[in-house]
Amino acid sequence: MTVEEALIKRKSVRSFLKKEVEIEKIKKILDKAKHAPSGTNIQPWKAYVVSGQKQIDLTEKMVQAFRSGKEEKMEYQYYPKFFKEPFKHRRRETGLLLYSAIDIKREEKEKMKAQWEENYRSFGAPTVIYFTMDKSLETGSYLDYGMFIQSVALMATEVGLGSCIQAVLAQYPDIVREELGIKEDETVICGIALGYEDEDHKINSYRTPRVELEEFVTFVE
């Protein structure tokens, strides 16, 4: 598989088969992804690979927190406090595409809520990798981290696994920290769901669109 093929094939998988992921595949993914670039080679990433009963317990605790209305408190600001155009339109379009794919209408609020809960369960993925970063690091390390996580997703594609990068898994950092024994000096960044894609599920049939080059590229000579 070429880099180009992996870039095009990778997508956010939201339904996985009940099939365990081989530990050797996880090791290969992370061993290759570690070659991602980082400023002055500080390599800010730290990974917690979670599966089995621990994965089930952790996700259910987050689901219960969500159902109870517990306040979400990510340890960094992921989204802007106000979405302006064209970002507002793109975000809304993505949501409409997802719910249309699984036949949920806008007025079906309970169905929407139930689908949102699946985020905390990582859509049934058998393995989830949680990522943290030392709190002493600054904005540049978030750029480094993005390149690393993209590398993880591309390697997952190469070895035949589906993935979904999930910032939502950092919304209850206290739960994640307690369950995984993460130290207070580490920021919970996000998670990535890994597993074998359920290709028959309708939710995996849609793809988010990308804008044309002319909309975001300026050539200067």
Flag whether pLDDT at 72 surpasses 90: no
Residue 208: inside a domain: no
Flag whether pLDDT at 71 surpasses 90: no
Residue 63: inside a domain: yes
> Given pLDDT bands bounded at 50, 70 and 90, which one contains residue 141?
very high
> Given pLDDT bands bounded at 50, 70 and 90, which one contains residue 8?
very high
Q: What is the pTM assigned to this prediction?
A: 0.94
Please state, in angstroms and rounded to a whole number, the distance separating the CA atoms of residues 146 and 175: 23
Other Cβ atoms closer than 10 A to 78? 13
Residue 41: inside a domain: yes
CATH for 32: 3.40.109.10
What is the identity of the amino acid at 19?
K
Please state the rounded mean pLDDT for residues 101-129: 93
Flag whether pLDDT at 15 surpasses 90: yes
Residue 146: inside a domain: yes
Please state, in angstroms and rounded to a whole number, the distance separating the CA atoms of residues 145 and 219: 28
> Given pLDDT bands bounded at 50, 70 and 90, which one contains residue 106?
confident
SS3 label, residue 2 = coil
Flag whether pLDDT at 147 surpasses 90: yes
Residue 124: inside a domain: yes
Please state, in angstroms and rounded to a whole number, the distance separating the CA atoms of residues 161 and 9: 11
Residue 95: inside a domain: no
With tokens 């379009």, the residue in question is: 93
Flag whether pLDDT at 40 surpasses 90: yes
DSSP letter at 188? E
Under 8 Å between Cβ of 163 and 193: yes
The structure tokens listed for 89 are 């339109």
SS3 label, residue 112 = helix
Domain count, the chain: 1
Q: In which domain, by residue range, is 190 found?
A: 3-77+120-201
Residue 218: inside a domain: no
Residue 186: inside a domain: yes
- Identify the sign of the CA torsion 20, 24, 30, 33: negative
